[in-house]
Structure 1
């Protein structure tokens, strides 16, 4: 019986890969640092790291950064969804000295061979000193 070394999935994100969030740093220096425990300094930074968590299938991070009042029991990340890009349209407040903030964005993805977009205007607040996602603002 032979043992195979598991091959990385095609398009797998590594620490030296470009960050999925679209900023010009590597995943390890950008959103990977957030996923490893470095707190997000702004609401936009948290939103970008949550987008990247979907891209790398890190459901635990998504739950950790969700406000306890609105957090679901679990998050299912579809292994067949490929996140293609993130465009931040606008943000309000959400800086180092704010307690609340919003970020409006468009995320592009491919799922089951179909390309689509998700547009959301998200609300973020500080909870126990850290930025957390509350949910989408009503349209």
Structure 2
């Protein structure tokens, strides 16, 4: 069971001991740690951190303020680091209103002046159609009707 103090990245640690420290300026030590902190920043609406941790050549000018996406689960499927480059393959489950989806992406990272930055990724989005008796997409292990899938 997660609490409001738990880090959104799913580590099971409190936000302050996990991704929160990177949101407050500590450099993420690995591409995976940066990926987790960026996921948490999306979940928490920390646009400034997202832009700051993006490589200048691929960074958008801004991010929408009113994003309706509710990020509910992060799964790290694979990660690799070689020198000043790294990759992370992840799946992020989300909800927009009553619709569910999963973003699957292979992200590329680069270390610049001792800090990892997100360069770009190869995203793929799939719509999920969880049934009331299926396992909840949030990863709780409960049936959907006893957790996040209602109606």
> Common fold, TM-score beyond 0.5?
yes
Moved over 6 A (4+): none
TM-score between the two structures when normalised by the length of structure 1: 0.82
Which of 73, 86, 91 is equivalent to 2:61? 73
Question: Do structure 1's residue 92 and structure 2's residue 92 form an aligned pair?
Answer: no
Tell me, which stretches of 5 or more residues in structure 2 are unaligned?
125-151
Q: How many residues align?
A: 122
Q: CA deviation at 1:127?
A: 1.3
Q: Match of 1:133, SS?
A: strand
Which of 24, 33, 55 is equivalent to 2:12? 24
The 5 Å alignment of 1:120-135 reads 120-135=105-120
- Which fold has the larger relative contact order, with Cα–Cα distance below 8 Å and residues 6 or more apart in sequence? 1
Q: CA RMSD in A?
A: 1.9
TM-score between the two structures when normalised by the length of structure 2: 0.75
Q: How many Å separate the matches in 1 of 2:123 and 2:110?
A: 16
Tell me, which stretches of 5 or more residues in structure 1 are unaligned?
1-11
Q: CA deviation at 1:73?
A: 0.3
Q: How many Å separate the matches in 2 of 1:112 and 1:119?
A: 20
Q: CA deviation at 1:80?
A: 2.7
